[in-house]
C-alpha cells in the first residue's frame, strides 16, 4: 500500500506543478530569475557534453547499420533504419536518462538534504505553496526543459550526421533524403515521438522533486530516498518507452 501511496503522491505533486505552471505569476516578477537560473544550471552544462557524446554514438551506430545493410544488399533501407533506431528511439531515451542522472536526480537529493538540514531559508517558516512557486517549480521546469532541449539538439544533429555519413558533403542527395525522412515521420510517428519526449521530461523533472516535497524534514535516510526515486524514474521511463514502441509498431 505504501507503494500505491507514493504513486498517488506523485500524481498529486504533478497536478500541483501543472497548476503552478498554468499560473502566469510563476513566470514573472520575483520568480523569473530563479527559473532562469535553474534552466541554465540544468541545461547548459549538459548540452555540450551530451551533444558530443550522442554525436559519437550516433556516428558509430550509423556506420554499423550502413555497413551491415550494405553487406546484405539492403542499403536502400539503411537510412530508414538509422532514422527509426536513432532519432525515434535511442536519442530521446538517452537524453532523458542523461538529464536524470546528471542533473535532476542529484539536484533532488541535494535539495532534500538542504531542506532536511534546515539550510533553506534559515530562520523563516514559509508555507508549501510559496515553496512550490519559488523552489519546486523552477527545478521541475528546468529538468523538463533540459530533456526537450537535449533531445531536440541531438535529434537534429543525428539527422544531419546520418545524411553526411551516407552521402558525404553533397547537397544533391537532399531531395531523396528528405523524402525518406518524410516517409518515416508520418503524423502518428511524429506525434508519438513528441508525446514520448514530453512524458520522459515530465518523469525526469517530477519524480526526484516529488519525494522531497512530501518527505518533509528528515523522515527517512536520504540515501534510500534517492535510490527509490531512481528506481521509480527508470521504471516509468521504461513504461513510456514500451508504450511508444507499441504505438509505433503495433
Would you tell me which residues interact with another protein (CB under 8 A)?
A: 32-33, 35-37, 39-41, 43-44, 47, 74, 76-77, 110, 113-114, 116-117, 119, 145, 148-149, 152-153, 155-156, 176, 178-179, 181-183, 185-186, 190, 218, 221-222
Helix ranges restricted to H, the chain: 2-21, 31-71, 78-82, 91-99, 105-116, 128-131, 137-167, 174-184, 187-215, 222-249
In the bound complex, what is the minimum distance in angstroms from residue 217's beta carbon to another protein? 8
Nearer to another protein, 17 or 69 (CB): 69
* Contact in structure between 134 and 35 (CB atoms under 8 Å): no
Closest by CA position to 88, among listed 187, 193, 3: 193
Nearer to another protein, 12 or 37 (CB): 37
Give the count of alpha carbons within 13 A of 141, CB side only.
Answer: 25
In the bound complex, what is the minimum distance in angstroms from residue 189's beta carbon to another protein? 10
* Contact in structure between 102 and 230 (CB atoms under 8 Å): no
Nearer to another protein, 136 or 145 (CB): 145
In the bound complex, what is the minimum distance in angstroms from residue 224's beta carbon to another protein? 11
Grid coordinates belonging to 104: 535532476
The DSSP line for 43-58 is HHHHHHHHHHHHHHHH
In the bound complex, what is the minimum distance in angstroms from residue 146's beta carbon to another protein? 9
Query: Using CA atoms, how far apart are residues 249 and 201, in angstroms rounded to an integer?
Result: 23
In the bound complex, what is the minimum distance in angstroms from residue 238's beta carbon to another protein? 26
In the bound complex, what is the minimum distance in angstroms from residue 192's beta carbon to another protein? 13
Nearer to another protein, 142 or 210 (CB): 142
Calculate the alpha carbon distances from 194 to 114, 190, 237, 247, 249 in Å. 35, 6, 14, 12, 16
Nearer to another protein, 152 or 166 (CB): 152
Nearer to another protein, 39 or 202 (CB): 39
Amino acid at each position: 500500500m505504501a507503494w500505491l501511496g507514493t504513486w498517488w503522491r506523485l500524481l498529486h505533486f504533478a497536478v500541483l506543478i501543472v497548476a503552478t505552471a498554468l499560473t502566469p505569476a510563476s513566470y514573472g516578477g520575483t520568480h523569473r530569475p530563479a527559473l532562469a537560473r535553474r534552466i541554465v544550471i540544468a541545461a547548459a552544462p549538459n548540452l555540450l557534453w551530451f551533444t558530443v557524446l550522442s554525436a559519437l554514438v550516433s556516428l558509430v551506430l550509423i556506420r554499423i547499420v550502413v555497413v551491415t545493410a550494405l553487406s546484405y544488399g539492403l542499403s536502400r533501407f539503411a537510412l530508414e533504419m538509422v532514422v527509426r533506431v536513432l532519432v525515434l528511439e535511442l536519442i530521446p531515451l538517452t537524453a532523458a536518462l542523461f538529464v536524470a542522472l546528471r542533473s535532476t536526480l542529484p539536484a533532488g537529493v541535494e535539495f532534500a538534504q538542504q531542506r532536511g538540514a534546515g539550510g533553506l531559508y534559515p530562520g523563516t517558516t514559509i508555507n508549501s505553496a510559496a515553496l512550490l512557486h519559488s523552489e519546486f517549480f523552477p527545478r521541475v521546469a528546468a529538468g523538463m526543459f533540459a530533456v526537450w532541449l537535449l533531445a531536440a539538439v541531438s535529434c537534429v544533429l543525428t539527422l544531419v550526421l546520418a545524411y553526411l555519413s551516407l552521402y558525404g558533403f553533397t547537397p544533391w542527395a537532399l531531395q531523396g533524403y528528405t523524402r525518406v525522412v518524410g516517409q518515416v515521420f508520418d503524423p502518428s510517428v511524429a506525434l508519438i515521438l513528441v508525446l514520448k519526449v514530453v512524458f520522459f521530461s515530465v518523469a525526469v523533472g517530477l519524480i526526484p522533486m516529488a519525494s522531497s516535497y512530501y518527505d518533509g524534514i528528515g523522515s527517512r535516510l536520504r540515501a534510500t530516498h534517492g535510490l527509490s526515486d531512481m528506481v521509480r524514474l527508470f521504471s516509468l521511463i521504461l513504461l513510456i518507452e514500451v508504450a511508444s514502441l507499441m504505438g509505433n509498431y503495433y
